Amino acid sequence: MSEPKENICYFKGEYTALKNANINIQTHALQYGTACFGGIRGYWNEEHNNIYIFRIEDHYRRLKESASILCMEFPYSLEKFTGIIKNILGKSEWKQNIYLRPVIYKSDLDISPRLHNVGDSFFVYAIALDDYLDTQKGLNVCVSSWVRIHETQIPTRAKASGGYINSALAKSEAMQQGYDEAILFDINGNISEGSASNIFFVRNGTLHTPDLSSSILEGITRRTIMELARELGVDVVERNVSRSELYTADEVFFAGTGVQVAWIKNIDNRQIGDGQIGPLTKKLQSLFFEIVKGQKEEYNRWLTPVYDKK
Ligand code: PMP
């Protein structure tokens, strides 16, 4: 593991040192949150001497969809997008777990909160990132007093920067009360998701997760977990989920690029199951980590190696 000597990002169409990539204080996105972004992980495999980027195509597609919802141009093909990312990682010579943050933002120096006729730009940078939340200890979480934004307010399908005020309110409330993370209701009082992750629970061997009508972000890790569970022969149900179903579940866990697969021990001070990581969570978590690190060849279709194989 080693930090890069110089962290190179892509900004204003060029490769440049991250420390020099600065924006004007009049930038539209800074005033109104008019930006959308992605969060992509790359896992370092010491044995293969390579970084594997996880499901870049899915992330590319979601970023493009977010841009379209927010009336932004995203003229990059998947090949170009992948090439830029490989270049910033290669030029910086990253050799550790990383997190990529591609952003499309309204970059004109303009006031008035609108989406049309405001120019936009794209940048992407990488940071070192290991665990964002502890995946081993069992999280202590609460249901937030903040309600997840609804599609009629800010489209939750878009990973829109301004919408993350909602996540930040819930996350800070939870942490300032001594919890690790928050779970948000949707506007109808069904369970939606965490501040930056989707949620799953297990009951009698079946895996459940809130469906797309519950104001969730359609997570790429969520999709992965559902695919893996089905391959293991587990029934997966997407539907409305109530708070007390989580209290009485056998297992509950978060899934997301940042949180990876992190199991929940307590919700609102109620112990979930026997207070240990559940068997299905454990199985899915181990499989997930093996896959992302490039240790399961049959899932290499989800991985993009950064460095050419020697
Ligand atoms: N919901 C929200 C609000 C998020 O910010 C994230 C993180 N991107 C997720 C869910 C999980 O999505 P993914 O698995 O694609 O990272």
What pLDDT is attached to residue 309?
75
User: Could you tell me the distance, in angstroms and rounded to a whole number, from the CA of residue 27 to the centre of ligand 1?
Assistant: 26
Tell me if 260 CB under 6 Å of ligand 1.
no
What pLDDT is attached to residue 1?
54
What pLDDT is attached to residue 94?
97
User: Residue 101 — φ and ψ, nearest 5°?
Assistant: -125, 90
| HEC-encoded secondary structure of 27-80 | CHHHHHCCEEECCEEEEEECCCCEEEEECHHHHHHHHHHHHHHCCCCCCCCHHH
Mutation probe of ligand 1 site: the residue of 54, 191, 221, 284 with most atoms within 8 A of C-beta: 221
Pairing relationship of beta strands 251-256 and 236-239 according to DSSP bridges: unpaired
pLDDT in tens, 1-50: 567 989 999 999 999 999 999 999 999 999 999 999 999 999 999 999 99
How many Å apart are CA 226 and CA 64, to the nearest integer? Answer: 23
User: Residue 156 — φ and ψ, nearest 5°?
Assistant: -80, -15
For ligand 1, what atom is nearest to the CA of residue 156? 3
Does the predicted TM-score (pTM) go above 0.95? yes
Give the number of other Cβ atoms within 10 Å of residue 205's Cβ. Answer: 11
Task: Spell out, as residue ranges, where the chain has pLDDT lower than 50.
Answer: none
What pLDDT is attached to residue 21?
98
Over the range 226-253, which residues count as b (16 or more CB within 10 Å of their CB) and which as e? bebbeeeebebebeebeeeebbebbbbb
User: Could you tell me the distance, in angstroms and rounded to a whole number, from the CA of residue 256 to the centre of ligand 1?
Assistant: 5
Q: What is the largest CA-CA distance in the chain?
A: 56
**Residue 181 structure tokens:** 């993370």
Q: Which residues contact 14 (CB under 8 A, 6 or more apart)?
A: none
Give the number of other Cβ atoms within 10 Å of residue 127's Cβ. Answer: 12
Q: Which residues contact 308 (CB under 8 A, 6 or more apart)?
A: none
For ligand 1, what atom is nearest to the CA of residue 198? 10
Residue 81, Cβ density class (10 Å: 0-12 exposed, 13-18 middle, ≥19 buried): buried
At 141, is the secondary structure helix, strand, or coil?
Answer: strand
Tell me if 217 CB under 6 Å of ligand 1.
yes
Q: From atom 5 of ligand 1, which residue's Cα is the shortest distance away?
A: 196
Output Rg (C-alpha) for the chain, integer angstroms: 20
Tell me if 193 CB under 6 Å of ligand 1.
yes
pLDDT in tens, 156-170: 999 999 999 999 999
Does 265 qualify as catalytic in the annotation? no
What pLDDT is attached to residue 131?
83
What pLDDT is attached to residue 132?
77
For ligand 1, what atom is nearest to the CA of residue 58? 15
Tell me if 257 CB under 6 Å of ligand 1.
yes
Q: What's the gap between Cα 119 and its chain centre?
A: 26
How many Å apart are CA 34 and CA 66, to the nearest integer? Answer: 11
How many Å apart are CA 252 and CA 266, to the nearest integer? Answer: 9
User: Could you tell me the distance, in angstroms and rounded to a whole number, from the CA of residue 310 to the centre of ligand 1?
Assistant: 34
Tell me if 198 CB under 6 Å of ligand 1.
yes
User: Residue 141 — φ and ψ, nearest 5°?
Assistant: -125, 165
